[in-house]
Amino acid sequence: MTRVALIAHDEKKPDLIEFAQTHEAQLREYELIATGTTGKRLQEETDLEVERKESGPLGGDLMIGAEVAEDELDGIVFLRDPLRAQPHEPDISALLRICDVHDVALATNHSSAEFLIEGLAD
């Protein structure tokens, strides 16, 4: 089954929830994982099943990166805040590097997330 990770900086969590609600039918077809707080919000605000990793500050983004390295993930949606990211939030650079090494799609904004979700459906 297709496995997708969902991550968002604090200011982008509402955008990710909205994205998940809009694409709930499609996302239901995938195994979903998320960092702790993002996963909790997705579980509370959608009917999606989400495997939660640790929160970003506790290494959840690194846990997701490990799944990429172990060839267990097909794509990542990481809605990041390029202007106001806080020091405690996950850093995109390690995930970007591991996704490039393993040729795994990584979407960082709404438009690329749309393409990723639709591309995985094909």
- Of 61, 81, 91, 100, the active-site residue reads 61
Q: pTM (2 decimals)?
A: 0.93
* Percent of the chain at pLDDT exceeding 90: 80
Among 49, 41, 40, smallest CA distance to 1 is for 49
Q: What is the pLDDT of residues 31-83, one digit of tens each?
A: 999 999 999 999 999 999 999 999 988 999 999 999 999 999 999 999 988 77
Domains identified in the chain, total number:
1
* Percent of the chain at pLDDT exceeding 70: 93
Phi, psi of 101 (to 5 degrees): -60, -40
Among 52, 43, 35, smallest CA distance to 92 is for 35
| Bind-site residues for substrate | 9, 13, 35-38, 55-56, 88
Residues listed for the chain: 122
81 catalytic per annotation: no
CATH number, domain at 16? 3.40.50.1380
Computed from CA positions of residues 58, 30, 105, 101, in that sequence, does the dihedral angle turn out positive or negative?
positive
Which pLDDT does position 83 carry in this prediction?
A: 75
Q: What is the pLDDT of residues 76-118, one digit of tens each?
A: 999 988 777 666 666 688 899 999 999 999 999 999 999 999 9
Residue identified by tokens 């297709």 is 2
Which residues constitute the domain of residue 10?
3-121
Computed from CA positions of residues 36, 84, 80, 57, in that sequence, does the dihedral angle turn out positive or negative?
negative
Residue type, 54: E
